[in-house]
Amino acid sequence: MYKRVLLKLSGESLMGDQSYGIDNERLEEYAQQIKEIVELGVQVGIVIGGGNIFRGLSGAAKGFDRYQGDQMGMLATVINSLALKSSLNNNGVKARVLTAIKMEPVGEFYSQPKAIECLENGEVVILSAGTGNPYFTTDTGSSLRGIEIKADVMLKGTRVDGVYTADPEKDPTATKFDEITYDEIYNRGLKVMDLTATTMCKENDLPIIVFDMDTPGNLIRVIKGEKIGTLVRN
């Protein structure tokens, strides 16, 4: 069983069946799944995207300045982080939001020693606002934070149950990988994460498990070592 994990959640998943914003039922499901693994003694760091509220890249395509668009996207991740913290607290789980941009009292400013101290004290640490810099995705933010907090693995919770040869939602002939290397991802041009994030994980030997987070119970199954999802490694 893993001792310390970095859980990457997509903002879009928080929408549930809505077209925008945060679905309270989905938020509660996530909080319950996270509670299950915390009760096993797993130390949990979380990075959550902001695409359910605002995405910098799509904003740039609509005429927003990319720099400011990305800043708006970072703030969207903070909103999601605060919502997840509140839901975890309501479920009896201690959680803390650390932000890559100074914005006390909304959240405490991130530092690696503080994050590790909180994890070792049994708190779920939600690492928000990406890297604090534009032109980086939350995938890159989760890779960076996963490496910094010395996580055993990055758990990338998505709507899809692993990595496929093609997009299974578009190509019915797509087949799933149980395991795949970073080099294979590059060579096949698969979009597990953006290239910067993938390269960081490869160079720092941080494995990734891509799995379906939207099925309740899957997170604890991954933690216990069940072969669901896809393992990405060197």
Return the closest-CA partner of residue 120 out of 48, 47, 42: 42
| CB contact burial 71-102 (16+ within 10 A = b; e otherwise) | bbbbbbbbbbbbbbbebbeeeebebbbbbbbe
Give the domain range for residue 226. Answer: 4-233
- 207: domain CATH number is 3.40.1160.10
Is residue 56 over pLDDT 70?
Answer: no
Any known ligand binding at 137? yes
Is residue 169 over pLDDT 90?
Answer: no
Any known ligand binding at 57? no
Any known ligand binding at 158? yes
Any known ligand binding at 131? yes
Any known ligand binding at 50? yes
CA distances from 162 to 5, 14, 81, 206 (A): 18, 19, 24, 17
For residue 11, the surrounding DSSP H or E stretch is: none
Any known ligand binding at 215? no
User: In the chain, helix, strand, coil percent, each to 5?
Assistant: 40, 20, 40
β-bridge partners, 78: none
What CA–CA distance (Å, rounded) separates 232 from 135? 24
pLDDT score for 98:
98
The dihedral sign for the CA sequence 208, 209, 210, 213:
negative
Return the number of other C-beta atoms located less than 10 Å from residue 227's C-beta. 11
Any known ligand binding at 92? no
Q: pLDDT-based confidence at 95, cuts 50/70/90?
A: very high
Any known ligand binding at 11? yes
pLDDT score for 102:
97
Return the number of other C-beta atoms located less than 10 Å from residue 218's C-beta. 19
Any known ligand binding at 51? yes
Any known ligand binding at 8? yes
pLDDT score for 167:
85
Any known ligand binding at 59? no
- Give the percent of the chain with pLDDT over 70: 98
Q: How many domains does the chain have?
A: 1
Any known ligand binding at 140? no
CB 120 within 8 A of CB 56: no
Any known ligand binding at 24? no
Any known ligand binding at 211? no
Any known ligand binding at 138? yes
Any known ligand binding at 54? no
Any known ligand binding at 135? yes
pLDDT score for 66:
87
Any known ligand binding at 10? yes
- Give the global pTM: 0.95
Any known ligand binding at 159? no
pLDDT score for 62:
74
Q: Which residue in the block uniquely carries the two structure tokens 């720092």?
A: 204
